[in-house]
C-alpha cells in the first residue's frame, strides 16, 4: 500500500514510521526540504537506538527507513492509496493543500487530515470529491501513543470510517470512531484539565507545581496539566483551545487563557523551546528538587483536585449525551490518548 504524508515535522515523520513499520511504502513531502532531512536523521538515530535495545532487528530498521521516500513535489503522490496531511493547524492552508492534491491523486485515493480540532466537514466542503475525505488523528509521539481518532464528516462516504478503522488497527494502533465535533473526543473532554488548572493559577490560588502535584497524588494522573502542556507544546495546546472555543460559539467554559497566550507570544512553549511552565535547561534538576520540597497543603490539594475533576466529569457526561462516541470508546480514548487513569 502506498501512503502519502504531507508534513515532515514530528507528527509527520512519526506517522511515516508507523506506516512503514507495518510494511507500507511512504512518500513524505514538505515544502521545507531541510525539515525533511532533519526529521529523517532523527528517525535514523531513533531506529539505531531501537536496534541497540534489541527492540527491532537491524534488518527491520533498514526496511522501515528505506520505505520512506522524501519528495520535492506533490506530483509524486499520484499513485498513493491514502494521503495523510500533518501540517500547521490552519484551515485555509490545509484547504489549499487538499485542493491541489485532488488534481494529482486518483479518484480512489483517500484524503485525510491529522487535524486535532478543525471540523472535518468544513475541510471537506471545499473539495470536488468530499466523500473520500476523513479525519485520522494520531497522538504525539505517533509511534508510541496507541490511540488514533477516526472522524468521518457529514459528507464522508458510508463505510469509509470502518475501512480506515481496519487499516489503522492493522498498523497496531487503537482506533476509535468519533463524531465531527470541535476537539473530537480527547481534545474536547480534556479542555477543562488545562483550562481549570490555568484558571486556578491565574487566580493565584496555587502554583503550577502545586496543581500538578495535586493531580498526580490525589488523581493518580501520570502527568499534571502544566507538565502535559509543556510536553504537547503550549502554542499547540493554546491553538486547539481557541479552535474549540470559537467552534462552540464562544461558550465561556472553553475560554482560552490569557496566561497561555502570553507564554505563546514569548515563545515559552515548553520542552521544545527549553522552557515553559518548567525549566528544561541544565537548572531543571535543581528545579525538580525544589518542587519536591514544596509544602503540601491537604485542603488546598483537595480543592484543586475537585475543581479540575468535576469539570472533567461534566465534560465526559456531555460527550456521552451528545453521542460523540460510544461509552467504551470515550473511556478508551481518554486512557490511550492522554494516559488518564481508569
Active site amino acids = 116, 137, 149, 187
Q: Alpha-carbon distance 117 to 114, whole Å?
A: 9
Grid cell in block for residue 61: 530498521
Cα angle: 182, vertex 169, 144; to 5 degrees = 75
Rounded Cα distance, 292 and 48, in Å: 35
- The angle, 0 to 180 degrees and rounded to 10, between the axes of the packed helices 258-265 and 234-247 is 130
Residue 243's φ and ψ, nearest 5 degrees, are: -65, -45
List C-alpha distances in Å: 297 to 14, 24, 206. Answer: 41, 53, 10
Half-sphere exposure of 163 (CA within 13 A, CB side): 14
SS3 content of the chain, % helix, strand, coil (to 5): 55, 10, 35
Amino acid at each position: 500500500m502506498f501512503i502519502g504524508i504531507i508534513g515532515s515535522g514530528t507528527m509527520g515523520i512519526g506517522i511515516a514510521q508507523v506506516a512503514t513499520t507495518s510494511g507500507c511504502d511512504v512518500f513524505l513531502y514538505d515544502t521545507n526540504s531541510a525539515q525533511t532531512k532533519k526529521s529523517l536523521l532523527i528517525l535514523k538515530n531513533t531506529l539505531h537506538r531501537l536496534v541497540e535495545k534489541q527492540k527491532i532487528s537491524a534488518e527491520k530498521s533498514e526496511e522501515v527507513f528505506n520505505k520512506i521516500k522524501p519528495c520535492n513535489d506533490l506530483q509524486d503522490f499520484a499513485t498513493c492509496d491514502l494521503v495523510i496531511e500533518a501540517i500547521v493547524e490552519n484551515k485555509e492552508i490545509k484547504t489549499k493543500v487538499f485542493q491541489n492534491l485532488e488534481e494529482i491523486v486518483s479518484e480512489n485515493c483517500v484524503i485525510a487530515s491529522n487535524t486535532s480540532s478543525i471540523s472535518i466537514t468544513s475541510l471537506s466542503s471545499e473539495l470536488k470529491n468530499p466523500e473520500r475525505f476523513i479525519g485520522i488523528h494520531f497522538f504525539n509521539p505517533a509511534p508510541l501513543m496507541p490511540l488514533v481518532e477516526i472522524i468521518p464528516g457529514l459528507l464522508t462516504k458510508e463505510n469509509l470510517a470502518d475501512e480506515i478503522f481496519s487499516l489503522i488497527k492493522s498498523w497496531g494502533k487503537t482506533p476509535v470512531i468519533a463524531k465531527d465535533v470541535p476537539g473530537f473526543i480527547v481534545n474536547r473532554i480534556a479542555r477543562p484539565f488545562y483550562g481549570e488548572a490555568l484558571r486556578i493559577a491565574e487566580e493565584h490560588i496555587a502554583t503550577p507545581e502545586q496543581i500538578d502535584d495535586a493531580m498526580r497524588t490525589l488523581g493518580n494522573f501520570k502527568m499534571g496539566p502544566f507538565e502535559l502542556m509543556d510536553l504537547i507544546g503550549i502554542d499547540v495546546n493554546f491553538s486547539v483551545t481557541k479552535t474549540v472555543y470559537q467552534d462552540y460559539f464562544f461558550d465561556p467554559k472553553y475560554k482560552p487563557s490569557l496566561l497561555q497566550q502570553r507564554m505563546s507570544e514569548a515563545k515559552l512553549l515548553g520542552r521544545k523551546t527549553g522552557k515553559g511552565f518548567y525549566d528544561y535547561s541544565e537548572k531543571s534538576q535543581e528545579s525538580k528538587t525544589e518542587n519536591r520540597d514544596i509544602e503540601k497543603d491537604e485542603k488546598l490539594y483537595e480543592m484543586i483536585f475537585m475543581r479540575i475533576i468535576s469539570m472533567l466529569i461534566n465534560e465526559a457526561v456531555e460527550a456521552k449525551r451528545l453521542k460523540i462516541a460510544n461509552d467504551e470508546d470515550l473511556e478508551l480514548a481518554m486512557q490511550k490518548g492522554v494516559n488518564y487513569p481508569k
